[in-house]
Structure 1
């Protein structure tokens, strides 16, 4: 786990601007570090938008991240502006809403409609339902898949809460206030995941 997130992101941004002078459109932090909920196992989820991304840019960015102290923790989303403009709107919502800016802004790039929210929920719910059923049926130990399934459920719950309330919850705690903990044994958790995702379809 990073001991000083502010220093790390400042160094990352300095290197990024040096590597891509006048080409950086946006850089941000998302995931547990962006929400202030990082644990010792957390990755550093970065979002970077350049004017253009090809293999040379990917190679430069890979070297930049690998050269950072604790760069092995880095992961995230990198694309060019054209790709961002063409990205499916339902998939952009959480990227925009869940990213804390370090440089530039995503505000105003996209306006999302209720239909975009509905589509994101439908796609997320169907994916969660399928994954939960598949893992329960075919995994030798279904409990090992639960952390990933519960992470997907958290992101889906944020969208569903936004649809109901108009407010996008920024933390797991806010989501848990409405949905409660995913408690109980393995079978109970699977039952709840499957029933809840089915109800959203």
Structure 2
């Protein structure tokens, strides 16, 4: 079966990266294959998990590679070497530069913990609580040169209750992320190479 090699970018504990790996092993990614982890935090949990399950990693700080521009060029070389067709940003905490955006236009998505365009940037859940809104959510969107502003593929709503602490909302958001992200990845891969002839709604 034809497949799409996927690279996941992550900077933290990697719960969404882990969920994608588990989804592939359960047959939930269709023709998507998690082939590579990219991280700017070599000691983060995502890198530890990738190492544990035998997924190749490119894990270097920007400082190690003489800055962001050189880092991105080396990442692009690695993506091309591994024949990566699709990039997923899942808890990656740096802005993507033009080198990667141009190379993966319409082939790079980001997972963001809000109903964009609301609450862009860092600490989106905390922003939602501070705004006293009754709901937030999760958005998967294409990456472009603007912060959290690319075309939206799919969103899921997450309620916020008056008694909620940040941890309560984060737990709900994570559950929504773990459901939404594998579904969107599967649909994108199937649409891209027609392995099941089903696209993103």
Point out the structure with the larger helix share: 1
Flag the structure with larger Rg.
Answer: 1
Work out whether the TM-score is over 0.5.
Answer: no
